Every structure is written in C-alpha cells, then in structure tokens.
Amino acid sequence: MKKREDHIYRELFGEKVLIMQKPVDDKSVVLTLNETSDLVYQLIDQCDTVEEIAARLAEEYDVPADEILNDVRGVLDTFARCGLIEL
C-alpha cells in the first residue's frame, strides 16, 4: 500500500484532516481523522502490510491484533475509496 501525493494532511482547529487536491467522482473530499485513523494513516509509511499496521495498533492500545484487523482494513478501504492510498 502506498499514499498518493495529491492530498494535503493538516491539523485544523485541533483536528487532523486529509484534503484531496483533486475531486473524486466530481466531489471534493475532506476526511476528519480520529486518533486511531490518524495513527493508521501515519503507519502506512512504516508498515508493508495491513497485518503489520494492526500489530502496531494492537501494541499501542494493548488489544489483540486479530480483534482490530477488520477495523484497520475498513479504515484503509475508506482511504482507498477516497483516492488517498493505493492498496
């Protein structure tokens, strides 16, 4: 998986957001990230697989990786559908 470069990552008013520079399906896309989805986004650069990201989150939040694997997949699928990453 790889981040695309045609978006902006910023903190606005205490919130982390991803802003697409080009419309997706003729729609502007702005995603507000919660703490966990922000960490998933950051880990994309450091991990090669979804399982690796889940393992890092599991360590951070002290939960079994298999319990959060589907949640991580869901976040990554959302990022992909919005054109933010390539899976």
DSSP conformation class of 23: -
**Can you list the domains of the chain with their CATH numbers?**
2-86 (1.10.10.1150)
Cβ(64)–Cβ(28) below 8 Å? no
The pLDDT score that the predictor gives to residue 79 is 92
pLDDT per residue over 37-85, tens digit each? 999 999 999 999 999 999 999 999 999 999 999 999 999 999 998 888 9
CA-CA distance, 60 to 79, in Å (whole number)? 21
The pLDDT score that the predictor gives to residue 24 is 65
CA-CA distance, 64 to 38, in Å (whole number)? 19
Residue 27's pLDDT band (boundaries 50, 70, 90)?
Answer: confident
Which of 87, 25, 84, 6 shows the shortest CA–CA distance to 37? 84
- Whether pTM > 0.85 for this model: the answer is yes
